[in-house]
Amino acid sequence: MSQSLDAVSDASLWSMDVHETAATIVELTRVAARVTELQARLATHARSVGVAEQVGATSVPNWWAHQTRMANAAAHRIAKLGAGLDEHPLVHTAMKSGDLMPDQAAVIIHAVDELPDHVDAALRERAEAHLVGEAAHYDARALANLGRGLLHVIDPEAADAHEAKLLEREEQAAAAKTRLTAREDPDGIVRGTFALPGAQWQMWKKQLLAIAAPKHRAAVEGHLGERKPGPQRMGLALAEWIERYPADRLPDSGGVSATVVVTIPVETLQGGPKPGVLDTGAVISPGQARRMACEAGILPLVLGGKSEILDAGRTRRFHSKTQRIAIAQRDKHCTAEGCDWPPGMCHIHHDPAWASGGPTDVEHGRLLCPRHHARAHDPTYAMTKLPGGKVAFTRRT
């Protein structure tokens, strides 16, 4: 095989027409599948003769990956395929002839192995033959969907319950693998990766595609302009989706944690150059601050004048959401000395206490974490106000 490849490695392709090029690509793909089958078979044989043990490796795939510098996951995938081919002769035969791609073979093996225990050998063989035949028309993803409904073909009566069980198990596994990681770069860009269950991704993708549609982009940007690349349009769609998500649907933690607060001087709203500041500490341009101040779901906290809505006096027992936001923006975290619990995990404490005539307003409210809030109402502790707005607790003697 190496000699044959050497013979064509320097061959010129300029003389090949469209039909010859297409046919050659297809045939080489079939050859590659046959080579993978041979690799998988050899990996199984290597395990039986103890290749890994001979050199002290932990497994044949690990030894293989080290020897060839191939990806460890790829070596394990092919070795696993080799083990499956031994148990599925119809799949093995189709792959040896180049009629089955490696990913198709893996999907078929998995689907047949997932059949319930009551399915006998004859039915399993029938199921395997059915999927091998369908592989001539479907790729691995479509075969996986057919595999989930395999029992409908061979045992319709038990099919629905089995498929539901498979889907539930698959969804639980997907939920366990769900991840979101991100990092903030100095250039103002956040980069990350995510893993989502398939159903939620389909729902989210449909929403993002609607926002990324050229017609919508033209409406947002005021002109159609040059069409942006797909990934950029999807990124802009995600940014718009985040900005427009209804704030009233977000859960409250400590009353304010999910609401974005933009602090801007009144001069900025009137066109001034001073930037805005988010309650997370991020700084944004004056233009973006003015735009965010007009967006639904964004509460602008404007400096430069007293807002009457923040002073409810004795008309209510608990602080309003707007008051909570103002107090959180002022205090930043628990006001007990040495405590840095964030606003979303704090309570609003009346200072003086409501029972002692304290008003429900911003001036007389302060952030305290649950532990320090309990101490504020514990007669065994004395609370002392410190310069700068902090408080300290000491046990009474």
Mean pLDDT of the chain: 80
Does 36 have pLDDT greater than 90? yes
Above pLDDT 70, what percent of the chain?
A: 78
Q: How far apart are CA 176 and CA 196, in angstroms?
A: 10
**b/e map 299-313, b = 16+ CB within 10 Å:** bbbeeeeeeeebebe
Beta bridge partners of 123: none
Does 314 have pLDDT greater than 50? no
Region of poorest pLDDT, from 147-151, 259-263, 383-387, 389-393: 259-263
The reported pTM is 0.48
Q: How far apart are CA 52 and CA 208, in angstroms?
A: 49
DSSP 278-327: ETTS-EE-HHHHHHHHTSTT-EEEEESS--GGGB-TTS-SSPPHHHHHHH
- In sign, the C-alpha dihedral spanning 39, 144, 196, 162 is negative
Could you identify the residue written with the tokens 């944690």? 257
Return the closest-CA partner of residue 344 out of 248, 254, 251: 254
Q: How far apart are CA 30 and CA 81, in angstroms?
A: 17
pLDDT digits (tens, 9 = 90+) for 17-29: 999 999 999 999 9
Region of poorest pLDDT, from 250-254, 268-272, 283-287, 359-363: 250-254
pLDDT digits (tens, 9 = 90+) for 82-125: 999 999 999 999 999 999 999 999 999 999 998 888 788 888 89
Most confident of 7-16, 355-364, 371-380: 7-16
Q: Which residues contact 396 (CB under 8 A, 6 or more apart)?
A: 379, 380, 381, 382
Region of poorest pLDDT, from 37-41, 132-136, 175-179, 309-313: 309-313
pLDDT digits (tens, 9 = 90+) for 221-277: 555 556 677 788 888 888 888 777 766 666 665 544 456 667 777 676 666 777 777
- Biggest CA–CA distance in the chain, Å, is 99
Q: Write the CA distances from 362 to 33, 344, 386, integer angstroms.
A: 71, 17, 18
